[in-house]
Structure 1
Amino acid sequence: MRIGLLTEGGYPYVSGDARLWCDRLVRGLEQHEFDIYALSRSEHQEDEGWVPLPPQVDRVITAPLWTAEDDGVVYGRRARRRFAESYGELAAALCEGGVGEASGTGSVGSVGSTGSAKGSGEASGVEADRFASALYGLAELARDEGGLVGALRSETAVRALERACRAPGARQTAREARVPDLLAVAAHLERALRPLSLDWYEDDGLGAVDVCHAASGGPAALPGLLAHHFCGVPLLVTEYGVRLRTHYLADSDSPPAVRALLAAFHGRLATETYRRAAVVTPGNTHARRWQERCGADREKIRTVYPGMEAGHFAEVGESAECVDPDTLVWVGRVEPAKDLISLLHAFAEIRKEEPKTRLRIVGAPSGPEGAAYLGHCKALAAQLFPDEAEGLHAVGDNPVSFEEIGGPELPSAADAYGSGAVTVLSSVVEGFPISLVEAMFCARATVSTDVGAVVEVIGGTGLVVPPRNPKALAEACLTLLRDPERRERLGAAARARALELFTVEQNIAAFHGIYLDIVSRTPVRRVVLDGTGEPLPFAAPAEAHVPGRWTERSTRVVARGGPGWAAGPPVCATPPFAATEGAPG
């Protein structure tokens, strides 16, 4: 089976999102062949290069989302009219009420744990079809004319957007859009729609794969939508973090009109992606609620938990020893969403009851904002423990330490979890809590805040408290610190649950089954005909499906972009199928 793996800012780049998950999936499914279609986010990401690729990756084709040269395509009168009609319809679909309306004005809170993404799934079928028709109309125009970049940057696009905002029936936030707002929205749409101009959608590209697997929603899924539209290739969408939710959380500083229009675009794109996908695989129930609210059919949804390497934590998990029964451990990226401030206040309460207790905060800051937050946390720790504040960077007589994995004290993540009796998570925003799963592999009892997929992951093997509640966090930690038998019992149950649900093997087996299920339900798209035009039902020999290498595999084909993308031609160092000695035929 040939899988077209679609990524955006991810695999195979060294600094890519979900890089480890994609790499484990590809390496674990060596019986299949993979073509990687990757959209990069920055020049720096491209300069860092790729991770080493396994032999089952036949080729990697990349294109930059961060830049696009003018394609130089000059439209004739008919093409200009087609563009104006399709782009005008797209703009009109965004200006009407429906997907993303409430959330586009910054109302994110109603979407969180309840899944009631107000406005994000209320588009009528007519509105959804209008958006889809416009989107595919632009894609067909790009295919016929050789690109869309210049047209999307033209004054025609801005004027079409303005007319849609001023049209009767446009919602209030759209009518309030000023010229700078319209220019900002048009520029964002041009970037988001760049995949429409790629030359990936032919029989020698995505049209040749059996399944398109988008590693996320949003831009990564857009090539899959076009492959389905042009070639009938089935689409599988995996979201371990819902891209629509990420957009809502990130787009908070723009003017209301810009937020509303962009939220409408991303909401309608998510709805169309879920509608066309053969299967949608969220990483947890929290993500599943978002997808259902955006129109995903429940019958298409199959939860597949992320897979993690349990072997890295086996030694600590199988040992019953606890290095320090009076130590709490926090592990993760240092950033405001992790709410270390509440954790430090909770720890101050814990120290009043149990003066011997220590807190190890293990992790590196996430960017400049994380570095500033780390400095603030260290200052607060010095303020809360003034008599013990000297040298807060090291483990010693100080109750709080700030450390990073890789030093002599904590050479690995397993050592970090093994250094304490209880692992704490204090986040106010969380997707899938990887640090909790790692602690579970290490057979550690946990205290967590009730955010994201925490309760689903823990499943009764740890204590859960409300977020931003230092008193409740302190009481839960004290409960486990004072009861070693309960800690041991919860830790053993946590390890058993993690080994059952969250291993790499479980993840790979699930996707292998989903691939086979999708292909078994997909009609044959490529029919071989004989000289008279009649189909040859057995034109592909049975040997083609036997595991093993019947011909010498070619050197990987690497190409970039499409028309107007400063792309180089595909490079193939050897003939694609050079016959080997003794090969059949």
Structure 2
Amino acid sequence: MRIGLLTEGGYPYVSGDASPWCDRLVRGLAQHEFDVYALSRSERQEDDGLLALPPQVRQVRTAPLWTAEDDGVAYGRRARRRFAECYGELTAVLCSTAGRPVAAAGRPVAAAGRPVPVVDGPVAAVDGSLAVTGGSATVADRFASALYGLAELAREEGGLVGALRSETAVRALERACRAPGALRAAHEARVPDLLTVAAHLEHALRPLSLDWYEDDGLGSADLCHATSGGAAALPGLLARHFAGVPLLVTEYGVRLRTHYLTTTDAPPAVRSLLAAFHHRLAAESYRQAAYVTPGDAHARRWQERCGADRAKLRTVYPGMDAGPFAEVGESPERAAPDTLVWVGRVEPAKDLVSLLHALAEIRRDEPGTRLRVVGAPTGPEGAGYLAHCRALAAQLFPDEADGPHAVGDNPVSFEETGGPECPAPADAYASGAVIVLSSVVEGFPVSLVEAMFCGRATVSTDAGAVVEVIGGTGLVVPPRNPRALAEACVALLRDPERRERLGAAARARALELFTVEQNIAALHGLYLEIVSRCPARRTAYGDTGDPLPFAVPAEAHLPGRWTAASRTVARSGPGWAAGPPVRATTGVPAAKAAR
């Protein structure tokens, strides 16, 4: 099988969020061929280079998302008219109230004198305004028609970058915002807002201008696997549109949710229009995908609210390497009985402030308790947050002349992995009796799974997929509640037998559900199922002239009423054997058929 692996800002680059699990997937499926199509996020990422790739990776094709040179394509009159029509339709869908409920009246609003389709999907509150998450089929079809129309224009004319940056694009967006029935936020958009939205759309639609969709590219793949939503899924949509290649979308972090969290400071018009675009793109990806694989129930709920068909959803937990934590998991006696450990990226969403206040309450009941914070800050915001946490720790736990600790010994230590006391993450987990997670915003809690591999008891806040991952093998408390966090930690610090039981159960659960092996097996099974259900798009032969596997669909999924035919045969006796056997026609050339 030939798989087109679609990535954004990750594999096969050395630096990237999705690099580890993609690399493990490719190496675990050595019997298949992989073509990697990667979108980079920054010049620094490209300068860092690529990973050492296994031999099953046939080719790697990359394209930058962070920059795009003007393609120099000069459109003729007809091409300019087509672009104006397609782009105008795209922006009209983003600005229109069609398919959107009105908060005040609760009734659809007519747009440009036309009746608006009734909303048939659930509604989610986004930044205080209502936005439909299911949407009507009419709006979805209009968005798809405009998107693929732009893709076809880019394919015929040689590029779309210059057109998306043109004054025509900005004027089309302005007309859509000023049209009767447009969203109120869009109608109030100013010129800087229009320029910002137009620039973002040009950035997001850059994959339309790539030359990846011919027979020497994604057109030759048996399956496209997008490792995230958003920009990574867009080439998969075009490969399906142009060549009929089936698409599998994996989202371990829902890109639409990420967009909502990162645009809170944008002006209302920019926030509303960009949310509409990313929502429509996500809905189209879910609609066209053969299967969508969320990494947990939290991501699954987001996808369902964005219009994903429940019948297409298959939860596949991220696969993690349990090997580095095996020694610690098999030696629980290494844990210090009075030490709490926190491991992760230092940023405000992790709410270390609440954890430090909880430690102050814990030490009133257990004075010898210590806390190790192991992690590095992420960017300037994370560095500032780390400095704030250091100052808060010094304020909450001033040096004491008398007491369980000597002068100058603070019970909180801030460390990074790679130092003499913590050369690897497993060493951090090994030193703690209880592992603590204090996040207010969380996706799939990687550090929590690592702690489970190590057989450690955990106390976590109810954020993201924490409850699903823990599954009863640890204590879960509400977020931003230092008192509840402190009580749970004290309960485990005082009960070593309970800690041991919970740790053993957590390790068993993690080894059953969250290993690399289960992740590869689940995705491989979906690969086979998708390809077996898709019609043959080309005839492939090996060196001996025999058809290669997956060149034709599996017989078990051929359409027809096989049960009714069986009953007819049973009534008429062995008449089925009277004629010659029926063989599938695959278009084999005469010479190859004879051979």
- The answer to whether structure 1 residue 348 and structure 2 residue 360 are counterparts is yes
Paired positions, count: 528
Which residue of the partner structure matches residue 580 of structure 1? none
* Gap regions ≥5 residues in structure 2: 104-122, 551-594
State the identity as a percent. Answer: 79
Which residue of the partner structure matches residue 310 of structure 2? 298
Which residue of the partner structure matches residue 581 of structure 1? none
Cα contact 2:99–2:139 (8 A) shared by 1: no
Instruction: Report runs of 4+ in structure 1 exceeding 3 Å deviation.
Output: 98-103, 394-397, 537-546
Distance 1:311 1:33 in 2: 26
Secondary structure of 1:325 counterpart: strand
Secondary structure of 1:316 counterpart: helix
- 1:303 partner letter: T
Secondary structure of 2:337 counterpart: coil
Kindly state the Cα deviation for residue 320 of structure 1 after the two structures are TM-superposed: 2.9
Which residue of the partner structure matches residue 82 of structure 1? 82
Greater Cα offset, 91-100 or 317-326: 91-100
- The answer to whether structure 1 residue 367 and structure 2 residue 379 are counterparts is yes
Query: Cα–Cα, structure 1 residues 504 and 396, in superposed 2: closer, same or farther, change >3 Å?
Result: farther
Cα contact 1:98–1:120 (8 A) shared by 2: no
Which residue of the partner structure matches residue 450 of structure 1? 462
Secondary structure of 2:455 counterpart: coil
Describe the superposition over 1:503-539 as per-residue Cα deviations: whole angstroms up to 9, x where unpaired: 00000111110100000000001148xxxxxxxx999
Secondary structure of 1:258 counterpart: helix
Distance 2:17 2:261 in 1: 17
Which residue of the partner structure matches residue 575 of structure 1? none
- The answer to whether structure 1 residue 93 and structure 2 residue 93 are counterparts is yes
Matching residue within 203, 206, 211 for 1:194? 206
Matching residue within 291, 301, 305 for 1:279? 291
Which residue of the partner structure matches residue 350 of structure 2? 338
- The answer to whether structure 1 residue 505 and structure 2 residue 517 are counterparts is yes
Which residue of the partner structure matches residue 64 of structure 1? 64
Kindly state the Cα deviation for residue 223 of structure 1 after the two structures are TM-superposed: 0.3
Which residue of the partner structure matches residue 51 of structure 2? 51
Which residue of the partner structure matches residue 39 of structure 2? 39
Secondary structure of 1:328 counterpart: strand
Kindly state the Cα deviation for residue 210 of structure 1 after the two structures are TM-superposed: 0.4
Secondary structure of 2:58 counterpart: strand
Kindly state the Cα deviation for residue 543 of structure 1 after the two structures are TM-superposed: 7.3
Distance 1:374 1:331 in 2: 13
Greater Cα offset, 408-417 or 468-477: 408-417
**Which structure 2 residues correspond to residues 360-399 of structure 1 after superposition, within 5 A?**
360-388=372-400, 397-399=409-411
- 1:541 partner letter: G
- 2:33 partner letter: E
Secondary structure of 1:386 counterpart: coil
Cα contact 2:197–2:274 (8 A) shared by 1: yes
Distance 1:158 1:213 in 2: 34
Matching residue within 117, 127, 132 for 2:139? 127
Cα contact 1:201–1:226 (8 A) shared by 2: yes
Distance 2:394 2:499 in 1: 30
Cα contact 2:350–2:440 (8 A) shared by 1: yes
Cα contact 1:99–1:263 (8 A) shared by 2: no
- The answer to whether structure 1 residue 169 and structure 2 residue 208 are counterparts is no
Secondary structure of 1:477 counterpart: helix
Which residue of the partner structure matches residue 301 of structure 2? 289
Secondary structure of 2:31 counterpart: coil
Secondary structure of 1:63 counterpart: strand
- The answer to whether structure 1 residue 411 and structure 2 residue 423 are counterparts is yes
Query: Cα–Cα, structure 1 residues 233 and 351, in superposed 2: closer, same or farther, change >3 Å?
Result: same
Q: Structure 1 length normalisation: TM-score?
A: 0.87
Distance 2:303 2:213 in 1: 26
Which residue of the partner structure matches residue 556 of structure 1? none
- 2:346 partner letter: V
Distance 1:476 1:98 in 2: 49
Cα contact 2:354–2:482 (8 A) shared by 1: yes
Q: CA RMSD in A?
A: 2.4
Cα contact 2:374–2:415 (8 A) shared by 1: yes
- 1:424 partner letter: V
User: Could you say which structure has the larger radius of gyration?
Assistant: 2
* Gap regions ≥5 residues in structure 1: 104-109, 529-536, 547-584
